[in-house]
Structure 1
């Protein structure tokens, strides 16, 4: 079987945003596989925003310690195999297909038992199996959605990181921040260390209660660890971080925004907790790891003249952080937005946040069947931007050309940039179209 056939077979099992709240199927499948998720320590990450960036930063620190690391993240930007990485590289097409073939008989057995394995469950099982087979020294696992009922929660994380929680997936996770926090708190297991990013009060209360109930050790950003200082630098920012075991000065992070500094602090605390002992990590190791880190599709420059920045923000909390980071790190006099969003998101809130930042907005659609049609997005956008500032373009490639064209028309020295945002899929499509993925 080749990679495309494996990908098609996985896609036939549904879509990741539709799932039943049960761990029975994934647990049954992993039992047949010999519980590969128990073959290595796990750093488990949940939260509304920042999960993938934090996962990549944890991975960078662990790899700099000469550990073999498996990383499972979602969704992917371009190719499904990006979700499962070993040693910082996605599984090859050949290896991805091989892992699928190895699991296929066990999946069929589980299906026959009346528990048809779903899309995200299958990818999760493939990741756990691939990591056990490698074998990895540590697995860094990002939840897909929520926590308690997420397929990844069959693993018991030695470290549970909860990144900032805000409103998203309210139809699935609950109508308010406290409800969502309750769902995500499910990854905090007895005896683990819970590394908590700065949270709204109502989320923090829920997370602390869960940690107390299960006897977890708690490390809170802003109390036990955090960002002591940061300043904008060329290509990123320069940080002083207080970890759980020491202070780390002059740490260059090639990522933009206060939110990425917070992600780095959480990653540092998680790795300190995982390594045990009282000694801080080697400062040069920390500097080297973070200096080499990346987070594709997160305030990522994909073109110059004019500067085009791609970002995967898709909910109000993420968009607020993105816009603050854009304002801080890029001295644009004007910003032209190219925006495509999913129909099930809080589109009105996203447009409201974007309006003060964007000179003009080009609304379009991405490649997902969940994408809000350009005409519908345009009608909503006119209520915030006015008709004169809104351009409706059906296809994303044409929309990107229109956005760049508007920026070019402003003149070379106008300081006009282009921001492409609204969804992970939008970011992935744009990276592919602009060849930022190496394609």
Structure 2
């Protein structure tokens, strides 16, 4: 029996925790406001000088642990999360740095698979703030301050060193060679599928984009390569040969041997560097995610020295993959009608999304909700999604970079025809309208070909939609 005194003490403790959490959130929001006065993450300059100077002042924290460095156009975050899960399952303390976030910047820096707390985020920023101010003060009059991404990258490296972690899985932000994360030297470098994106910085040619991504491959490292177009593969292999990097290629040294649909995901047989791993359940959908799993397995094996006849423990591999979560990646946030959220944000990603939806879901009617950033090839994305969507509701997300709704509607009409396009400027109204349209299937279940809603177009769109459905954690 709990005494009145004990109940009072528990209530006081709970109130104190709430006050501490509120104070930490307020301070976090202050730090974010400060960071948002810097160069945005959508801006890139071809130099590592600023970030190199900052980590030098911090004592090069990125050299305190081995790094698995991940670049590519699509699949980076999902692959990084899978690598993290596998390495954690074999007993390593992990740090993971990814971008962008769905809702909260703390998602970008994780320790042991969990986002850093608001208080921890603030603490690491305040620790390195004097060094940031020192470098900002030394710059030439017309030179930019450290960018937001450079500061966040240094924060992640410092947080990992302070923890300390035994391995860091680090995802590039934009590109490779000139990405702030490239001050780290990956013992294992991972190149996920390369496509056309960020044309304003990386150019329109696949070979040029591949050359930029290949910049993370370092001398003597192990380069794990997802399946690539021949043009991109040639560039990557040339880089590896020039640096003496060991190459492991999907479809050659490793890959997906079998993929079967399963309730809540898929059942895989994977060929790793050390042999085959059977009966692996992956709780996410799509052939592209199976490919990501094969890449993640090879990367984990490479880091841990598996290969030849030496395999990772099969039970650890199964447990690691079974624990994988992929928020905003064909994530179901509602049933009856089913509402799926996906962060596809370029034509390459939209194509993979369309294939996954067509292959794994049997909707009689599927209504899309699309909000895209203005620097993306929205028309190509719409064209990729058109075969799997019966109608599309165009809208905008919360980003200041969101494409104008009327402009997006014009592009949607080109791809779908006017009779299949609905315009709703607010995302919540767009989702409500899409649900209404999907329910016109007379309430049939998904298994019988009922209606569904697919919300996509941007990581920001996915984050906004998850919040609408109460999914505010990752």
Task: Return the TM-score normalized by structure 2.
Answer: 0.91
Instruction: Compute the displacement of 1:359 (Å).
Output: 0.8
Distance 2:43 2:355 in 1: 32
Structure 1 residue 45 corresponds to structure 2 residue 70: yes
CA RMSD of aligned residues (A): 1.1
**How many angstroms apart in 1 are the aligned matches of 2:364 and 2:238?**
46
Q: For the residues of structure 1 that align with 2:422 and 2:372, how far apart are their CA atoms? A: 15
Superposition pairs for residues 102-141 of structure 1, below 5 Å? Answer: 102-114=127-139, 116-141=145-170
**What is the aligned counterpart of 1:397 among 411, 428, 441?**
428
Tell me how far apart the structure 2 counterparts of residues 355 and 244 of structure 1 sit (CA, whole Å): 38
The reply on whether 1:183 has 2:183 as its aligned counterpart is no
Bigger shift: residues 351-360 or 200-209: 351-360
Query: Is 1:379 the counterpart of 2:414 in the alignment?
Result: no
Match of 1:34 in 2: 59
Matches within 5 A, 1:344-363: 344-363=375-394
- C-alpha distance in 1, partners of 2:393/2:414? 14
Q: How does 1:230-241 map to 2 (within 5 A)?
A: 230-241=259-270
TM-aligned CA deviation for residue 437 of structure 1:
2.4
**Residue 91 (structure 1) aligned with residue 123 (structure 2):** no
CA distance, structure 2, for counterparts of residue 99 and residue 319 of structure 1: 36
Q: CA deviation at 1:386?
A: 1.6
Which residue is 1:416 aligned to? 451
User: 1:207 & 1:277 partners in 2: Cα distance?
Assistant: 23
Q: CA deviation at 1:409?
A: 2.8
Which structure would you say has the larger Rg?
2
1:16 and 1:200 mapped to 2: Cα distance? 28
Distance in 1, matches of 2:442 and 2:219, equals: 59
Structure 2 CA distance for aligned equivalents of residues 165 and 19 of structure 1? 19
Structure 2 residue ranges without an equivalent (≥5): 1-23
Judge which range, 109-118 or 79-88, deviates more. Answer: 109-118
For residue 259 of structure 1, the aligned residue among 288, 291, 295 is 288
How far did residue 19 of structure 1 move?
2.2
CA apart distance, 1:391: 0.6
Q: 1:336 to 1:104 in 2, by over 3 A?
A: same
**SS of residue matched to 1:271:** helix
Instruction: Deviation per CA, 1:263-321: give whole Å up to 9, x if none.
Output: 00011001111111542000010001001101110011011110000000111111111
Unaligned segments of structure 1, at least 5 residues? none
CA–CA distance in structure 1, aligned partners of residues 442 and 457 of structure 2: 26
Instruction: State the SS of the aligned residue for 2:467.
Output: helix
- Paired residues of 2:177 and 2:215 also in contact (CA < 8 A): yes
1:193-272 correspondence runs (5 A): 193-272=222-301
Deviations 1:353-403 (A, max 9, x none): 122211111000001111111111111111221212111000111111111
Instruction: Please point out which of 163, 168, 172 is paired with 1:143.
Output: 172
3-state SS of paired residue (2:388): coil
2:191 aligned partner: 162
Q: 1:427 aligns with which of 442, 454, 462?
A: 462
Mapped to 1, the partners of 2:300 and 2:427 lie a distance apart of 39
Q: Distance in 2 between matches of 1:331 and 1:288?
A: 29
- Provide Cα deviations, 1:207-236, integer angstroms capped at 9, x if missing partner: 000000011000000000100111111111
Distance 1:59 1:277 in 2: 16
Distance in 1 (CA, whole Å) between partners of 2:129 and 2:428 is 37
Q: TM-score, normalised by structure 1?
A: 0.98
